[in-house]
Structures are given as structure tokens and as C-alpha cells.
Chain A
């Protein structure tokens, strides 16, 4: 069964600290993996996208890694800011259909305290 599991479910950190969010998936065949940021009451916004051959991708203070062999990904946030408070969702796409079906994790709810 194609699944995406994220951990931790929630995380509280102090402003300026770093953190790492985890994503494990069983989706096959694999096409790509995206990390989305979803602010409360808003739609998700794409942060990074990685294909099978990529093992790291950065977007400002966000750095995503991918280990396609172990089917694991992480999102590292450096020097956190209050505006980083949001849900971070791992999304894996398969290439088994023309739709490019997406499998969503439940997200990690990050809270950054001043």
C-alpha cells in the first residue's frame, strides 16, 4: 500500500533554532517528492521538489534531502523564524498513471516561539 508517514506529528522550537522533519514513504514506482508549507487557513505552497536522482535541494533556509534507497526524506530548517510556524507536508508522486497521483503525509505542525 502506498503511504507517506511523517514525524514528529508536532514540534515546538525557539526562534533562531534549527530543526529537522522526517518523511518515510512506500510509494512505488517513485516519481518525485515535494515538501509543502501550509499556513493555518491557507492552501499548501511548494517549497522543494526532488526527483530520484537528486539527494539534496535548498530553498533559502529550507534544505530537503532524499534517500531513494531507504525511501526517506528530511526537511531541515535553519535559523527558524516566527513565520516558519506552519504545517509541513511531504507529498510523493508516483509515475504509474497519467495523473501522476499524489500521496500526502499528515504533516508536521511546527510552532516557533519567540
Chain B
């Protein structure tokens, strides 16, 4: 069982609200990732980080932003939620080597009304 945590697990919120999805890991991993997954579809990388103060956009364009102030913490923020943001958001982490297995958190199911 991987030591990577996400909160909240479920979030229902109205349009226009600002939200922050939390992700933390206790494995000391340098690399962290955020994925978006819709039902029956593949995971899409939206953000990643190589380490503290490093953040990059992924393959799928996203209006969200991320920060990496501490190694163990990689929060994702939506300044103004919209119904199109409704999805499952998965956080993952891995060691420095690019071939290392990514360990996933349980995910946050976001619904924007």
C-alpha cells in the first residue's frame, strides 16, 4: 500500500468557487504528478513536478494550477470551478529515476454543479 494521500475524496461544489485538492506523500519521492480521468477513459497528465519549486504542465491543457513548496506536498487549485471541471483527479509520485513505478493516491471525485 502506497503512502500517498488525497483529500477530499469527494467534492460537490457550485460554479465559480475556488477549490484546492490536496495531495501528500510520505515516501520522500522527488517526482509528483496530477492526472485527470473521466469514466471509461485513459488517464491524462495535467501537471508534474521534478522537485521543490519545479512545476510543469502536462499533455492535457488544464485551467488548474499547482505548487510544490515542500517535497511531500503537491496541491492543485482551481480558481473558478466550472461544470467542465467535473472529473476524477489522481495524484501520483515516483522516485527520481524516470523508469520508477508511479504510486497513485485514491483520487478526488470532483463534481461542479
Contact = CB atoms under 8 A, between A and B. Distances in A.
* Dominant secondary structure of chain B at its interface with chain A: loop
B109 interface: yes
Interface in B81-110: 90-92, 97-99, 101-107, 109
Given A99-B48, A99-B98, A100-B99, A105 B42 contact: yes
Given A32-B99, A93-B99, A107 B105 contact: no
Interface stretch (A21-29, A39-47, A64-72, A75-83): A39-47
Given A43-B105, A44-B43, A46-B102, 20 more contacts: A31-B99, A34-B101, A41-B106, A41-B107, A42-B106, A43-B90, A45-B2, A49-B101, A89-B43, A93-B99, A95-B99, A97-B98, A99-B48, A100-B97, A100-B98, A100-B99, A104-B43, A106-B41, A106-B42, A107-B42
10 contacts: A41-B107, A42-B106, A43-B4, A43-B90, A43-B92, A43-B104, A43-B105, A100-B98, A104-B42, A109-B40
